Structures are given as C-alpha cells and as structure tokens.
Chains A and B, each alone.
Chain A
C-alpha cells in the first residue's frame, strides 16, 4: 500500500472497512463491468477517493488562482472578475457583407471582433486568382487595406480587440495596421491576436498554410513577433493552435502536448534570434478544441496550465508570472456534432462550453448547431452565443473559481493527463523538437492513427453517437437548412472593384515596396514582416505579397503521409 493511501486511512477512521463494503456491493451490482477509457487512453475507474488524491498535496499541485502552479486559473479573480471573451468567429462574403454581419452580432453580446478570411486568403491568393464560385463562401474576401477598412467600418478598433484568423505572412494584421493608419489610430492602441499564426499546426493538421516553405514560415513568424514587440505592443502575435491537431484526430492529451511542443519551438526560435522570453512570452496565446469528453477536457486544460508554467520556469528560466500565464481561446469541437437530428448539437455544444468554462478558458467560441450542414446561418449562430449567456447568467457557472478543483476524480485525472502529455512531449523532444518532428512526418503519423482509431470505435458502436449509431430516427424526409451563399453578382462586383484598386495604385510606390520586400527576404538581418506591413500600406494586395514570399523564401508543399 502506498504512503499516500496510508495517510488517508490514518486521517479517516473507518475508511478501509467502508471501502471494502462498497467494493463488495459494487461488484455484486455490476454483472458486466468492462473497462472504460477516455479518448486519451486513460482508464476511468468507477469511484475516486482520497486513495487517489489527497489534499495534503494541495499547495504543491493546486495552489491559488493566479500563482504557480497555475492549476486553478491564471488570474486571481478568473471568471468571477471578468468572464471569458465571447468571440464568435465569423467571416462571409464581401467586406461589406462581413461588416453588416459583424455589427449585428455585436448587438447580441459579442464583445470582440473576429475575422475568418476566405479560403483563398489562407492559400495565399487574391480573389481573382481562384474559382469565383468559392469566393466568400467560408470566409470574408479580404485582399487589401481598403477591404479591411470596409470590414471594420464603424468598429472602434482602438477599444475592441480584433482577432484575425490571420495565416502567415500576417497580411490581415498588416491591413489592420494600414487601416489604423488611415483612421489615425496609433498602433499602440491596437489589441488582438493573430489567431492562425501557428504554421506548424497548419502544416500538420489542416494544410491551411499559404504554400510557403517551412523555413520561410519559420522566419516570418519570428520576424512578426519581433515587429509587434516593437511597434504593436498590445497585439498577441502568436497563437499556438492545439485545435487543429485535435480536429485532425489527435487525442486531447496529444493535442495539448503538440501545442506545448510548438510553443517550445517558437520560443527557442525567438531566443535564437536574440529576443528575450521575458518580453515576448507574455504575448503568446493558445487555441484549443473542446470535445464532448467533459472531464477529460477540463483535466487537459488544468494540466496544460501546470506544464506550461513549468516549461517556462524550468526550460527558459523565466520567473515572471505574466510570462507563464497560459492564456487560451477555445472552440467547441465541430467533429462531435452530427448531421443527424441537428438540434441535438445545441446540447452537445452546451456541454462542451461548460468544459471550456470549468477548464478556465479566456475566450470562447461556441459552434452553431448547423455547422455540419452548411456554413453557419444566423439563428443557429445566435443560439450559440446565447448558450454562453445562459451558462454564465442563468446557470451561474462563473460564481466560483475552478469549481471542480479538489474533486478526487478531476484532480486524479488532471495528474494522469499531465503524465500522458509529458510522455508525448518527451517523445517529440527525442525527435529533435516539433519543427523536426513535423518535417519528418512523425506527428502526422501519430495523428492519422488516432483519427482512424476513433472512427473505428464509432463504426463498432463502442462509442455511441446519438442519431448516428444509436437512437436513430428516420430522417429521410427531413431537409436541412438552406445553404447560404453570397448574393449572386456580389463577387463579380467585388472582383471589378479589386481590378480598379489594382489599376489606380501608384506604380512606382508599389514597385518600390515590392523590391524592399524582396530584399528583406534575401537579407537575414532584415525583418520580413516589417516589409509586409510597408507593402500593404503601399497598396500591395495579399496575393502579390504572398507570391513574392513564395518566390523568395520557397514554395511549400504539404507532406502527405499515406
């Protein structure tokens, strides 16, 4: 018997005999008791007691909110003081369409701007370089500073934070800065996050990168961190995206581990270029998926917070609490939603959101229930935000900080998830770090296996999914919501305006900015992102900037692991 179990007994007279009685009764009730595992592969017991977790370890493992080891939350007041940012990611149609939608959402309680650009932007092309049918169907078309001005029309960007789903080379941030300049807003007042800056997660999971070579991405990211530190100090230049990994099939523990390893990689890369972790780490943020595995997700977040604090203190020797605060945005997982009986998704999203809240998230996006049917439409989006409002205002989930802290189960699971995550981190360390591991395809392989294994569990019925392999009804007559597509003709009009924009620019200014960008790419001491901002201000389009980088820093191919 372990020492900790003994101590529990000593303090609790009668523990042993009561436990033995329970065990006998439990066994007699349970004719069939197959082992239960969570998604990360941890075995889940029927009951947790002080045998599993003892509050004698409180100070070492939990402590108080806002202080090491940060398990209970990164701020002293957490959600009781200030609830999470309600950040619904939206993006659709032309810049004008987007602006209309954004303002409507802000009226319903959304407290920050977020922008999903059209997939053409993710790929690194202008609207006139791709199939017109696809434009604006899953994000807003944004190619120039003018477009950004239209997107943010009447939005007080000196007061609200503007999160951009901004893939490298961060042209959206460059356009925001260009827009601020035109509106005479100092850059120091611009707050927000480059939400999709994590090229490693894109390379691995989403293939969402703009087809720039890996070394090219690596360089531009570090340059952006450096630039923001100097010129846009309230901007979070980096968001490390564990979400992509989990959506692509990583287990919650793997996704957390990969995100932490990516953060280690980015930190090391910045240090190598002469930056001080004390200066840039406070601006690192994370972005995670919240699956339906309720307790597992809560434990994932609590464990992640603890490990990140330890990494910052032990690996990077920074003992400055702002540097090891594990700030994260989270999004309810679309992979758990079903097309069958879609209204059930509202219940799923509510449970996922609760896991995010109990996990101590700083910012939350709840999925609309029609997300698996189409690009989310208006009413489902409103219900998604109201789900957050209900959990906070009606259910009072924010009254107590870390309300599950001290639960024998949650604390045990947090420790076990921590171990699991640490094991994956060690594996990646052994491969030479995250950059090397993804370059060689190791991470991709691990994720691919996970995706297939989870699908197999659903196929076999081991994992029940309501409406899919259990509790099915005949839905053949039931039609889903009508798809919503940009108004016909609106994209043609947009393309015309882009043409006009391109032809009305100062040729010499554009040319000069382009050659500055080119030169920066080929001069290691120069900051490429600084020239991206200059180019945007000088009138270059997203596609032109990306084309130049692809040419100068190398074209990127996804690494397909089959």
Chain B
C-alpha cells in the first residue's frame, strides 16, 4: 500500500485490569514507548474488561499492554476472548509484571503474545511491541 507501515506510529494501549493499583511499571513502560515514537493511550488502573475492549476499538490500537503486579494476569485470558468476540482478534496482547513461570505458558496458550518479566530491558520491550504492532497492522482490514 502507499504509505510505508512503519511511517505511521504504532498505537498502544497501556492499561491495568482487575483489582491492583500499582502503576509504577506501567508508567515507565508508557514513557519508553512514547520515547520510541509510539502513540500510547494510557489509562488508570482497575479498568473493566468491556471498557478495555471499547477503548481498543475506538482508538484502533495495535497492541494492548497489561501491567500486572499482583495477580490480575489471571483474568487476561478473559480479555483476550472478549477482544476476539468484538472482532479485534488482530490486536496483540502483552503482559508485563509478576507472572509465575508456570502461568506464563497458560497465558501464551490463551492468546497472549508475550510476557515481560521484571528486569526486561527497554530495548526488548520497545522492539517486541514495535514488531507486534506491525503484525497486527498487517492482519487488520484497511477500512
């Protein structure tokens, strides 16, 4: 198509679902993505899943990043399903935070593209999100 895909900034939603409120990680990550030239929609904690779906759709984001420092990752599979049901299967979902090793596999089986653990480098986060955004773009209809 005409404009090169990477000429348009990746659009990423950085949010927190569930019950925990620790948002230091999500703020740092939002700043990383912004500084890498992406457009980041940032929300406060405690978003409900239907609200995240609506937001993903209205803002037409490529990647949804969920920060989970307590156990909120346990409901991420619900979010993935809700996105699929809303016709947003192309949107990539990533999780960052504290996820026990044995639950990483479960998340990936249920459609999470990547789990970032504490200590993930800025480089790794930016490159992965950038790549996932391009994948999502390619799968999504133009209009």
B140 in contact (CB, < 8 A)? no
CA distance A375 to B45 in the complex (A): 20
B89 vs chain A, min Cβ distance (A): 22
B95 vs chain A, min Cβ distance (A): 14
| A138 and B71 contact, Cβ closer than 8 Å, known pairs A479-B102, A480-B100 | yes
Those 10 A-B pairs whose CB atoms lie nearest each other, nearest first = A207-B21, A119-B19, A483-B100, A137-B71, A374-B100, A480-B101, A133-B74, A138-B70, A560-B44, A468-B119
CA distance A480 to B21 in the complex (A): 25
| A451 and B27 contact, Cβ closer than 8 Å, known pairs A134-B74, A375-B71 | yes
A134, A480, A558, A560 pick with most chain B CB within 10 angstroms: A134
> Which residues of A are in contact with B by a Cβ distance under 8 Å?
118-120, 122-123, 130-131, 133-134, 137-138, 202, 206-208, 211, 247-249, 335, 338-340, 372-375, 448, 451-452, 455, 459, 465, 467-468, 479-483, 557-558, 560, 562
B57 in contact (CB, < 8 A)? no
Residues of A within 8 A of B18 (CB): 119, 131, 134
Residues of B within 8 A of A448 (CB): 27
B135 in contact (CB, < 8 A)? no
| A483 and B103 contact, Cβ closer than 8 Å, known pairs A338-B118, A451-B24 | yes
B75 in contact (CB, < 8 A)? yes
Interface pair B70/A119, CB less than 8 Å apart: yes
Interface pair A134/B72, CB less than 8 Å apart: yes
A and B contact pairs by CB, cutoff 8 A, 24 listed: A122-B19, A131-B18, A131-B75, A133-B74, A133-B78, A134-B19, A137-B71, A138-B20, A138-B70, A247-B22, A247-B24, A248-B22, A338-B119, A340-B119, A372-B98, A372-B118, A374-B100, A451-B24, A455-B28, A459-B122, A467-B119, A480-B100, A480-B101, A482-B102
Interface pair B100/A482, CB less than 8 Å apart: yes
Residues of A within 8 A of B74 (CB): 131, 133-134, 137
Interface pair A560/B71, CB less than 8 Å apart: no
Residue-wise interface mask of B (42-68) relative to A, using a CB-CB cutoff of 8 A (1 in contact, 0 not): 111110000000000000000000000
Task: Name A374's contact: one of B20, B46, B98 (CB within 8 Å).
Answer: B98
Interface pair B24/A557, CB less than 8 Å apart: no
B23 in contact (CB, < 8 A)? yes
B72 vs chain A, min Cβ distance (A): 7
Residues of B within 8 A of A118 (CB): 19
Interface pair B121/A459, CB less than 8 Å apart: yes
Interface pair B45/A207, CB less than 8 Å apart: yes
CA distance A133 to B77 in the complex (A): 11
Residues of A within 8 A of B21 (CB): 122, 202, 206-208, 558
Interface pair A481/B100, CB less than 8 Å apart: yes
Interface pair B42/A562, CB less than 8 Å apart: yes
| A339 and B75 contact, Cβ closer than 8 Å, known pairs A207-B45, A374-B98, A482-B102 | no
Interface pair B28/A452, CB less than 8 Å apart: yes
CA distance A562 to B21 in the complex (A): 15
Interface pair B31/A479, CB less than 8 Å apart: no
CA distance A27 to B27 in the complex (A): 42
Residues of A within 8 A of B43 (CB): 560
Residues of A within 8 A of B23 (CB): 207, 248
Interface pair A119/B75, CB less than 8 Å apart: no
| A557 and B44 contact, Cβ closer than 8 Å, known pairs A138-B20, A339-B118, A452-B31 | yes
Residues of A within 8 A of B98 (CB): 339, 372-374
Which residue of A is nearest B48, CB measured? A131
Within 81-126 of B, Cβ neighbours of A (below 8 Å) are at 98, 100-103, 117-119, 121-122
B133 in contact (CB, < 8 A)? no
